[in-house]
């Protein structure tokens, strides 16, 4: 699948960053809980601000994103004890990369450019199943370690981390969008999008392209019509998708997003 094999592990990090980022936004606005984000991606309008006016996101004057990497490594080092996570933290310009990935996921786009520093070592593989070219289920194991990292995150530890890094994430989000997007609404939209990704326990047929593969039409599921970000999560395989979504849901609930507004998991069992 070419560049796509780099993306899926990165999407795992983005998935965790989505829920964490919402905490960042809430904590940066004060100790009182912030209003849950609108699930359609529109900004929640604060009291006294006319709906026609854009929400202004201030950027603290003392924030220097160019010097943020060491701070991130210091603060995030205890979030997970797994070696893979420690390796991810060695990446340069991490705050900007993760923030950009969050924006991409919210828009349904691929976060591959922002998260190109992550790539599974094993190659993607396909196999013939019932005369059709399909994803080889063994390929899903390439993402087991990444899913384990996300599963190991503790919501309370993440809350402490994002509270410390809130001004830096705000600065990165303002830098990446013009006019500034409402970060709270963007994160809410992205979380919902990833939770809408179906868990597919069936064989996934492929169609061969020039140098890669794409999902073949499945009329009953419509997987080929999914946004790019959801397709990347889907390629992790059903077991890993369940792990990532469970952690994402746990964090979303901890952030005060109403359970009734979170999409129910869709599972397509093997036929």
Residue 133 — very low, low, confident or very high, per pLDDT cuts 50/70/90? confident
What contacts 191, CB < 8 A, 6 or more positions away? 18, 19, 22, 248, 252, 257, 262
The pTM assigned to this predicted structure is: 0.75
- Rounded to an integer, the average pLDDT of 100-120 is 82
Residue 107 — very low, low, confident or very high, per pLDDT cuts 50/70/90? very high
What's the confidence (pLDDT) of residue 49? 36
pLDDT at 61 over 70: no
Most confident of 94-103, 106-115, 151-160, 240-249: 240-249
Residue 215 — very low, low, confident or very high, per pLDDT cuts 50/70/90? low
Q: First and final CA of the chain: distance in angstroms?
A: 26
How, if at all, do strands 199-200 and 267-268 pair? parallel
Compute the mean pLDDT over every residue in the chain, rounded to the nearest whole number. 74
């Amino acid at each position: 699948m070419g560049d796509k094999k780099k993306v899926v592990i990165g999407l795992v990090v983005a998935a965790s960053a989505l829920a964490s980022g919402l905490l960042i936004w809430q904590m940066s606005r004060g100790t009182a809980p912030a209003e849950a984000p609108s699930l359609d991606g529109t900004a929640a309008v604060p009291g006294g601000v006319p709906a026609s006016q854009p929400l202004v996101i201030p950027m603290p004057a003392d924030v220097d994103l160019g010097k943020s990497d060491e701070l991130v490594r210091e603060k995030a080092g205890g979030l997970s004890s797994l070696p893979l996570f420690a390796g991810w933290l060695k990446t340069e310009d991490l705050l900007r990369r993760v923030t950009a990935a969050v924006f991409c996921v919210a828009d349904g786009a691929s976060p591959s450019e922002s998260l190109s520093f992550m790539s599974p070592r094993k190659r993607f593989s396909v196999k013939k199943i019932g005369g059709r070219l399909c994803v080889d289920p063994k390929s899903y194991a390439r993402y087991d370690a990444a899913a384990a990292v996300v599963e190991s995150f503790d919501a309370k530890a993440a809350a402490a981390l994002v509270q410390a890094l809130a001004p830096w994430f705000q600065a990165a989000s303002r830098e990446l969008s013009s006019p500034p997007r409402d970060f709270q609404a963007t994160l809410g939209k992205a979380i919902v999008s990833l939770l809408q990704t179906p868990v597919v326990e069936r064989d996934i047929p492929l169609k061969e392209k020039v140098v890669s593969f794409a999902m073949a039409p499945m009329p009953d599921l419509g997987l080929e019509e999914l946004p790019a970000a959801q397709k990347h999560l889907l390629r992790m395989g059903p077991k890993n998708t369940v792990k990532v979504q469970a952690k994402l849901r746990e964090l979303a609930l901890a952030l005060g997003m109403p359970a009734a507004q979170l999409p129910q998991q869709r599972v397509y069992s093997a036929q």
